[in-house]
């Protein structure tokens, strides 16, 4: 059975209009572009038409819902506005003095590392400079 025949069968047996993605669930192995191509072919042959448009949920786009049988295609509708909020206005940065870090304790002793023998990360030239 070809993809086109499978799409025809799916649309004939559907109890409601279906989107391209819903048709694709029944057509295992068919990409959405193949399904779209066959739906357009069926539309040109007068065997299927667009019943209505629904929000696809992707970037404010609308998806057609297909139904089997001849009929007049529903006109494409504009997607509703996204409802994005305007950017928040940030409060201006004030010139405040930096807080003093007097609450931080400064160590009294120099930190020492423990190595048995020589420091493995020092090269001989660097070790001579430090002496």
- Per-residue pLDDT tens over the stretch 57-99: 777 788 999 999 999 999 988 877 666 667 777 777 676 666 6
The CATH class of 3-68 is mainly alpha
The three state secondary structure string of the chain is: CCHHHHHHHHHHHCCCCECHHHHHHHCCCCCHHHHHHHHHHHHHCCCEEEEEEEECCCCCCEEEEEEECCCCCCCCCCCCCCCCCCCCCCCCCCCCCCCCCCCCCCCCCCCCCCCCCCCCCCCHHHHHHHC
CB 73, CB 50: distance < 8 Å: yes
| pLDDT at residue 111 in the model | 60
What are the boundaries of each domain within the chain? 3-68
Place of tokens 């404010």: 60
Is the pLDDT assigned to residue 114 strictly greater than 80? Answer: no
**What pLDDT does 72 receive?**
92
pTM of the entire predicted model: 0.59
């Amino acid at each position: 059975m070809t993809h086109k025949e499978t799409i025809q069968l799916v649309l004939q047996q559907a109890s409601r209009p279906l989107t391209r993605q819903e048709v694709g669930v029944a057509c295992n192995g068919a990409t959405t572009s193949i399904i779209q191509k066959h739906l357009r072919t069926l539309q040109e042959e007068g065997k299927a038409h667009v019943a209505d448009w629904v929000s696809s949920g992707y970037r404010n786009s609308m998806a057609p819902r297909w139904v089997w049988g001849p009929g007049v295609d529903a006109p494409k509708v504009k997607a509703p506005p996204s409802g994005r909020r305007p950017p928040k206005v940030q409060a201006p940065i004030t010139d405040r003095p930096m807080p003093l870090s007097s609450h931080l304790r400064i160590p009294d002793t120099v930190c020492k590392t423990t190595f048995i023998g020589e420091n493995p990360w020092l090269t001989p030239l660097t070790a001579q400079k430090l002496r």
